[in-house]
Structure 1
Amino acid sequence: MTWDPEKYEQWFTTTAGAVALDCERRLLDFMVAGWPRRGTRLLEIGCGTGLFLESLWQKGFNVTGVDRSLSMVEAARKRMGKRAEIETANGECLPFRAGKFDFVILWTVLEFSSDPAAMLREATRVAEQGVLIGFLNRWSLYYLSNGRNPQKSLGRAHWFSWPEMRRLIKVNVGRPAEHAFSVLPGPVSSWKKSMPFRLLNSRCIPPWFGAFTAARVDFKDQTPLTPIASWTHGSQAG
């Protein structure tokens, strides 16, 4: 799927887009709140134009971004300047050694991957401390109005239900997602900046209901469920 950086960012200037961006940033902040910042190496796979990469940099992470779209990479480089390293790369086959980063984030990218399982395995391979996955929720009201039209880019994406994503994470990361929340439970018509709509849509609620869901997997103090994940992280310790 080809993305136009200008059209991508233009949507976030609309009322609904601005509300969605604010809510996703709130969710992102909530999900990474327990992660250390100073000197922490963080990779975002599918960084797009760098909207969320910039937020992560502002939170104190040392950030790197990759995207398979050259136009998106160019836009991200323009936004981030020297604050981040941005590379063109396929998230399903990353050009990094195992354990290169402390944390890896996949934020609305698995929906557009031809092999989301491979992308999750790659994220796990290059992450030392944990991964965070943000995805469009098929069980949301938003899906009913925007996720079923094949003429739209979101209609051509693979929207995940929470049970489906939970299984995908457990199999390919090798650990369960112990922390998962969502935002934006209302229909798009309720995505407004005024109260009570702002309170309704920005609250972090259980992962089943919101248009956008995030799930975090921390590697510390967890026993891998699969031999592959155990071998990967055991070899890093050596």
Structure 2
Amino acid sequence: MAWDAERYESWFDTDEGRFALEREAHLLQSLAAGWPSRCSTLLEIGCGTGLFLEMLWQMGFDVTGVDKSPSMIDAARKRFGSRATLHQADGTLLPFDDDSFDYVFLWSVLEFCDDADAMLAEACRVAEKGLLVGFLNRQSLYYWRNVRNSGGTMSRANMFSWMRLRHKVWRASGFHPVMAGSVLPGPLPTWKNSFFWKQVNSRFYPPWLGAFSAMRVDFQSGKPLTPLFAWRTEPELG
């Protein structure tokens, strides 16, 4: 599903978009805070125009971004200049060696790609220490009230439930999340700065509840020699 850079940026210029960006940024910063950023390399797959990659750069990571869209990469290059390494590349077939980066970041990209399993497998292949995965939650009130049957671009996205994507990440990496949470528990009309809704939306919620969920996966004891995704069927015992 293709997005052009201007349309992507214009969403974050709306009142709801700015509000959502602020809440997603807080969730990102909370989850990534446990990783040492100084001298750590991080790849974002599906970096878009670099909005979130810039946040990670500001946290101290040495950042690289890839995106399949030429217009997204052009916009990211205008944003970053020489501060980041950026490539036009397919996230399901990355031009990097195994363990090329300390961490890999996937933020609202899996639901818009054709093969989420392949992208996760590639992310695990090039990440040495861990993954940070953020996604639009199919179980949320936002999905049921504002996305499902809307006929818009978002309704054509392959949105995941928390349990489904958690399982996909486990199959790709062999590890369960060490941290997870979500933001924006209500539908779109609640994404505003009125006192009541700002208080409601200032909290983190369980990962199955909010419109946007995220998890951090640490490869604490090194990656399995054969990630579970590599098995076409479950391996047999004996």
Q: TM-score range by the shorter chain?
A: over 0.9
Per-residue displacement from partner, 1:95-145 (whole Å, max 9, x unpaired)?
Answer: 000010000000000001111001001000100110011000001011013
Tell me, in whole angstroms, the C-alpha distance in 2 between the residues paired with 1:181 and 1:173: 19
Q: Distance in 1 between matches of 2:128 and 2:100?
A: 7
TM-score normalised by the chain length of structure 1: 0.92
Structure 2 counterparts to residues 1-238 of structure 1, below 5 A: 1-149=1-149, 151-221=151-221, 224=224, 227-229=225-227
For residues 202 and 170 of structure 2, the distance between their equivalents in structure 1, rounded to whole angstroms, comes to 27
String of CA shifts for 1:161-210, please: whole Å, max 9, x gaps.
01111111111111112211000001111101232212211311110100
Provide the rounded CA distance (Å) in 2 between the counterparts of 1:105 and 1:207: 17
- The percent of aligned pairs where both chains have the same amino acid is 54
Q: Secondary structure at the match of 2:227?
A: helix
Equivalent pair of 1:150/1:156 in contact (CA under 8 Å): no
Task: Read off the aligned partner of 2:86 and give its amino acid letter.
Answer: I
Quick check: 2:111–2:136 contact (8 Å CA) kept in 1? Answer: yes
- Runs of 4 or more off by more than 2 Å in structure 1? 221-224
Runs of at least 5 residues in structure 2 that lack an aligned partner in the other structure: 231-238
TM-score computed with the length of structure 2 as normaliser: 0.92
> SS state of the match for residue 34, structure 2?
coil
> How far apart are residue 149 of structure 1 and its match?
3.6
Structure 2 CA distance for partners of 1:178 and 1:222, relative to 1, 3 Å: farther
Query: For the residues of structure 2 that align with 1:222 and 1:99, how far apart are their CA atoms?
Result: 11
Q: Is the contact made by 1:149 and 1:156 (CA closer than 8 Å) also made in structure 2?
A: no
Q: Give 1:150 shift.
A: 6.2
AA aligned opposite 2:46: G
The whole-number CA distance in structure 1 between the counterparts of 2:45 and 2:171 is: 19
RMSD after superposition:
1.6
Query: How many residues align structurally?
Result: 229
Contact between 2:27 and 2:214, CA under 8 Å: does it hold in 1? yes
1:138–1:2 Cα change, 3 Å: same
Report the secondary structure of 1:196's partner residue. Answer: helix
1:114 aligned counterpart, secondary structure: coil
Q: Secondary structure of the residue that 1:228 maps to in structure 2? A: coil
The match for 2:236 is none
State the shift of 1:62 in Å: 0.5
CA 1:150–1:98: 2 relative to 1, 3 Å: farther
**Which 5+ residue runs of structure 1 have no aligned equivalent?**
233-238
Q: Which stretch has the larger CA shift, 157-166 or 189-198? A: 189-198
Whole-angstrom distance in 2 between the partners of 1:149 and 1:222: 43
